[in-house]
Amino acid sequence: MKIKLKAGLVLILLVLLQSTLFSRLEILGAEPDLVLAVVVIIGLSLDLKWVLLLSFAAGLLKDSLGILPAGLNTLVLPLLGFAANRLSRQMLIEADYVTAAVVFIAAISYNLVIPLLLAIMGSPVSLGISSRIILIGAIYTTLLFLLFSRLSRLPGIKF
Mean pLDDT in runs of 10 for the chain (159 residues)? 81 84 77 88 92 93 83 92 92 81 93 86 75 85 86 54
The reported pLDDT for the residue numbered 1 is: 64
pTM, rounded to two decimals: 0.83
Q: Which domain holds residue 109?
A: 2-151
Task: Give how many domains the chain has, as a whole number.
Answer: 1
d(CA 1, CA 77): 22
pLDDT of residue 157: 43
pLDDT at site 78: 96
Do 145 and 100 form a contact (C-beta atoms < 8 A)? yes
Count Cα neighbours of 26 within 13 Å in the Cβ-side half-sphere. 9
Flag whether 158 is in a domain: no
pLDDT at res. 148: 81
21: domain CATH number is 1.10.1760
